[in-house]
Amino acid sequence: MKHIYRQGSAPGAPTLLLLHGTGGTENDLLPLAETVSPGSSVLSVRGSVLENGMPRFFRRLAEGVFDLEDLEFRTKELYDFLDSAAAEYGFDRGSVVAVGYSNGANIAGSLLFYYADALKGAILHHPMVPRRDLRLPDLSGVPVFIGAGENDPICTPGETRELQELLEGAGAKVEVHWERFGHRLTGTEAAAAAEWFARRFGEGGLA
């Protein structure tokens, strides 16, 4: 998978897995990583599916309608890539926090839905429910931040609350930050994610 890896200055901080939105690249969320945890190592991945030339992490059949077979395949592909990247770059595979926006938040959410040990935590900016026919693994104590829009036309408040309920039902500790800027990822939302990260993972990422 096309990606960027940058070694961080704080060895104890979780590695950030950056997952862009539709049409983005592995460069898009690097500034967000600097806001959330400037000392963390960063693994930023480009989606390997193209939709009208725009990179995505999995196919969809229509707006808001996921290709579930492809979603499952791509989720496993990303999970396996994390294993190989940890071996290649020497970061702690058990200490990876995903930071995803839109389509990237959806694949990060799918990692949580499929694998109990995929992530130490997740920051999901404007995610949807990846799928509704799975029994989620035990996510006891896994911290999850959801950035959501009260007027988001793509990820509606109902969708956000359903995702929160599903994750909490599996034991995850979910915190939702609401704004009123539609589907946009704003500076204030990024700052809220950084504050959440510092509370959940300490100041190690700020070295």
Catalytically active residues, by annotation: 102, 152, 183
Burial class (CB in 10 A: 0-12, 13-18, 19+), 25: middle
Q: Are 79 and 118 in contact (CB under 8 A)?
A: yes
Q: Are 119 and 140 in contact (CB under 8 A)?
A: no
How far apart CA 75 and CA 66 sit, in angstroms, is 13
Vertex 47: Cα angle to 202 and 117 (nearest 5): 45
